[in-house]
């Protein structure tokens, strides 16, 4: 008798468990994808609504709705959805600065039997017409330009290169463009000299690397005069990295060339108190068969002073390069670089580094 009672008790527990398992909500969407089609960026945020029904036997709860990117914002029914009742998820897409086709997903998590559902929105954004200010974001006085810097990038020591920069006058009166100062190795002209109202012109800049008489990275400014103005802010930056020309060296020349070899590439001063100065000496050896010439030495900031003991190094000779780091005004971890440029045709540019941790 007791065994029979136990059997029916166990059978009842199984039935209760199966009933509980069967009583789960089920989320059913009318559509899993929405196509916005094509629309203009200027049309602004686009919104669609995904409607769903709880086809289960107990209330449905959406635990999380997460979009695949920040351009897509979902809103959803927060309260429990009763059996056979409906809810909705509103999905918005912001097309601002996002021209072209898009394909975004929204992940829906719930207590439903099918616990995770993926919704999708697709479409294409037609790029709006950009304003003059967007196309020419920089201003030089009354003129607009795409950039206020001209980079000649890499240029060999005897090379001459020319670049143009478009100038836009979006005012209602003509602007006469002259020059206050131009570096000696640079020539500049404006065509036409007077840019008409709502018109364009161009600045033509020619860089003569030989006359620059330096090696490595060089930065300069051209100061303009607009309608006779002396405003120092009306200027254009010009830069170039000037390299020695080794293209004409023969195999024999390369075999006899100088070779720059440093004792180490970096040095850590460790802990420094703010305001403290520290010195370190890097040794440079000429492992080649002809004179090694230090063309230029440049540090990444004024806090690092570099003093090579000599500029011309005989074959087999070593010379010290003293580096002084000034921690005044600095704090925390610091890392500074020193660029050494030589006439070593295989490694003309060497980078040294000093670092430290500054405590106040």
Q: Please state which CATH number belongs to domain 132-243.
A: 2.60.40.10
Tell the CATH topology of 25-126.
Answer: Immunoglobulin-like (2.60.40)
Dihedrals phi, psi of 357, to nearest 5 degrees: -120, 120
- Dmax (CA) of the chain: 115
Please, what CATH class does the domain formed by 251-359 belong to? Answer: mainly beta
Calpha distance 169→318 (Å, rounded) = 58
Give the pLDDT score at 3.
55
Nearest Cα neighbor of 233 from 242, 225, 241 is 225
* pLDDT value of residue 293: 96
- Is 20 a residue whose pLDDT tops 70? no
- Specify the pLDDT at position 224: 96
Reply yes or no on whether the pLDDT at 157 is more than 70.
yes
pLDDT in tens, 227-285: 999 888 899 999 999 999 999 999 999 999 999 999 999 999 999 999 999 999 999 99
Domains of the chain, by residue range, sit at 25-126, 132-243, 251-359
Transcribe 270-307 into DSSP letters.
Answer: EEEETT-EEEEEEEEEE-SSS-EEEEEEEESSTTEEEE
pLDDT of residue 305: 87
Distance of alpha carbon 298 from alpha carbon 219, whole angstroms: 12
Share of the chain above pLDDT 90, in %: 83
E strand segments, 41-95: 46-54, 62-67, 72-76, 86-93
| Mean pLDDT, the chain, whole residue set | 91
Check if 25-126 and 251-359 are the same fold: yes
Residue-level pLDDT at 11: 46
% of the chain residues with pLDDT over 70: 94
State yes or no: pLDDT of 199 exceeds 60.
yes
Confidence of residue 24 (pLDDT cuts 50, 70, 90): confident
Q: How far is Cα 249 from Cα 288, in angstroms, rounded to an integer?
A: 15
From residue 170, alpha-carbon distances to 141, 142, 198, 256 in Å are: 11, 8, 4, 59
Calpha distance 163→171 (Å, rounded): 25
What's the pLDDT at 132? 87
pLDDT of residue 6: 54
* Helix (H/G/I), strand (E/B), else coil: 355: strand
Question: What is the pTM for the complete model shown?
Answer: 0.67
């Amino acid at each position: 008798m007791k065994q029979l009672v136990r059997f029916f008790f166990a059978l009842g527990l199984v039935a209760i468990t199966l009933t509980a398992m069967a009583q789960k909500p089920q989320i059913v969407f009318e559509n899993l994808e929405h196509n916005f089609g094509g629309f203009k960026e200027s049309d602004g945020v686009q919104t669609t609504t995904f409607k769903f029904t709880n086809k289960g036997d107990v209330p449905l709860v959406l635990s999380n709705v997460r979009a695949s990117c920040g351009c897509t914002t979902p809103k959803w029914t927060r309260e429990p959805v009763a059996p056979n009742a409906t809810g909705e998820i509103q999905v918005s897409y912001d097309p601002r600065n996002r021209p072209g086709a898009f394909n975004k997903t929204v992940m829906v998590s719930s207590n439903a039997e099918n616990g995770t559902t993926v919704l999708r929105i697709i479409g294409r954004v037609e790029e709006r017409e950009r304003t003059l200010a967007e196309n020419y974001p920089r201003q030089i006085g009354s003129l607009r330009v795409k950039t206020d810097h001209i980079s000649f990038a890499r240029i060999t020591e005897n090379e001459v290169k020319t670049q143009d920069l478009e100038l836009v006058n979006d005012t209602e009166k003509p602007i006469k463009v002259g020059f206050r100062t131009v570096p000696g190795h640079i020539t500049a002209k404006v065509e036409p000299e007077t840019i008409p109202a709502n018109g364009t012109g161009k600045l033509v800049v020619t860089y003569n690397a030989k006359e620059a008489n330096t090696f490595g990275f060089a930065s300069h400014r051209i100061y303009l005069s607009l309608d006779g103005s002396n405003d120092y802010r009306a200027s254009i930056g010009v830069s170039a990295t000037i390299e020695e020309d080794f293209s004409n060296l023969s195999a024999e020349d390369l075999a006899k060339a100088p070779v720059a070899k440093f004792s180490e590439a970096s040095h850590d001063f460790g802990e420094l108190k703010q305001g403290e100065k520290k010195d370190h000496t890097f040794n440079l050896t000429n492992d080649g068969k002809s004179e090694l010439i230090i063309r230029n030495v440049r540090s990444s900031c004024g806090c690092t002073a570099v003093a090579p003991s000599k500029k011309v190094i005989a074959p087999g000779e070593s010379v010290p390069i003293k580096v002084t780091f000034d921690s005044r005004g600095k704090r925390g971890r610091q890392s500074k670089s020193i660029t050494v440029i030589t006439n070593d045709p295989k490694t003309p540019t060497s980078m040294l580094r000093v670092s430290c941790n500054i405590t106040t």
